Structure 1
Amino acid sequence: MMSDTKPVDLRVEDDVATVTLNRPDRLNAMTAELLHLATSTLETVAADPAIRVLVLTGAGRAFCAGGDLSQGAGGAVTAGVGPESRAKLLRQFMETSKLLHEMPAVTIAAVNGACAGAGLSWACACDLRYASARAKFNVAFLNAGLSGDFGGTWTLPRIIGQGRAREKYLVSQPFDAVEAERIGLVSRVFDAEQLLPEVTAIARRIAASAPLAVSRIKQNLADSATVDFGRALDLEAQRHTECVESEDGREAALAFIEKRVPRFTGR
Structure 2
Amino acid sequence: MIQRDTDTPDLLSALDDGLLTLTLNRPDARNAMSDPMLEAMERELAFAEGSSEVRCVVLRGNGHAFCAGGDVKAMGDGPPPPSAMNDRIAYQRAIQRATSGRLVAMAKPTLAVVNGPAAGAGLALALACDLRIMARPAFLLTAFATVGLSGDFGVGYLLTRLVGGARAREMMFLPDRISSDRALDIGLTNWVCEAEHLDAHAERIARRLAAGPPKALGYMKDHLNKALSTDFDTYMEHEVACHLDCSRTADHLEGVMAFAEKRAPLFTGR
Normalising TM by the smaller chain, what interval? over 0.9
SS in 2 for 1:63: coil
Asked if the contact 1:124/1:156 (under 8 Å) is kept, the reply is yes
In the superposition, relative to structure 1, how do residues 8 and 74 fare at CA in structure 2: closer, same or farther (>3 Å)? farther
Q: Is 1:62 matched with 2:68?
A: no
Question: 1:41-86 deviations in whole A, cap 9, x for unaligned?
Answer: 21122221221111100000100000001111698x9x55622112
Q: 2:135 aligns with which of 102, 126, 132?
A: 132
Displacement, 1:10?
0.5
SS in 1 for 2:13: strand
Displacement, 1:197?
1.3
Q: Please, which runs of 5 or more residues in structure 1 have no aligned partner?
A: none
Asked if the contact 1:124/1:155 (under 8 Å) is kept, the reply is yes
Q: Is 1:105 matched with 2:89?
A: no
SS in 1 for 2:66: strand
Question: 1:165-202 deviations in whole A, cap 9, x for unaligned?
Answer: 11000111112111111111001111112112111100
- RMSD (Å) for aligned C-alpha atoms: 2.1
Q: 1:165 is aligned with what amino acid?
A: A
Q: 1:176 aligns with which of 168, 179, 186?
A: 179
Q: 1:85 aligns with which of 87, 93, 98?
A: 87
Number of residues of Structure 1 aligned to a counterpart in Structure 2 = 265
Asked if the contact 1:68/1:74 (under 8 Å) is kept, the reply is no
CA distance in 2, matches of 1:224, 1:139: 26
Question: 1:195-246 deviations in whole A, cap 9, x for unaligned?
Answer: 1211110011121122211111111111112211111111111111111221
CA distance in 2, matches of 1:180, 1:74: 34
Q: 1:225 aligns with which of 220, 224, 228?
A: 228
Question: 1:86-115 deviations in whole A, cap 9, x for unaligned?
Answer: 211111110201111111221111111010
Q: Please, which runs of 5 or more residues in structure 2 have no aligned partner?
A: none
1:248: which partner in 2? Answer: 251
CA distance in 2, matches of 1:263, 1:30: 38
Q: Is 1:30 matched with 2:44?
A: no
CA distance in 2, matches of 1:164, 1:206: 30
Q: Is 1:155 matched with 2:174?
A: no
Q: 1:48 is aligned with what amino acid?
A: S
1:46: which partner in 2? Answer: 49
Asked if the contact 1:28/1:64 (under 8 Å) is kept, the reply is yes
Asked if the contact 1:67/1:74 (under 8 Å) is kept, the reply is no
- Stretches (4+) displaced over 6 A: none
Q: 1:215 is aligned with what amino acid?
A: G
Q: Which moved more, 1:150-159 or 1:32-41?
A: 32-41
Q: Is 1:210 matched with 2:244?
A: no
Displacement, 1:260?
2.4
Asked if the contact 1:8/1:22 (under 8 Å) is kept, the reply is yes
Q: Which moved more, 1:143-152 or 1:209-218?
A: 209-218
Asked if the contact 2:114/2:138 (under 8 Å) is kept, the reply is yes
Q: 2:84 is aligned with what amino acid?
A: G
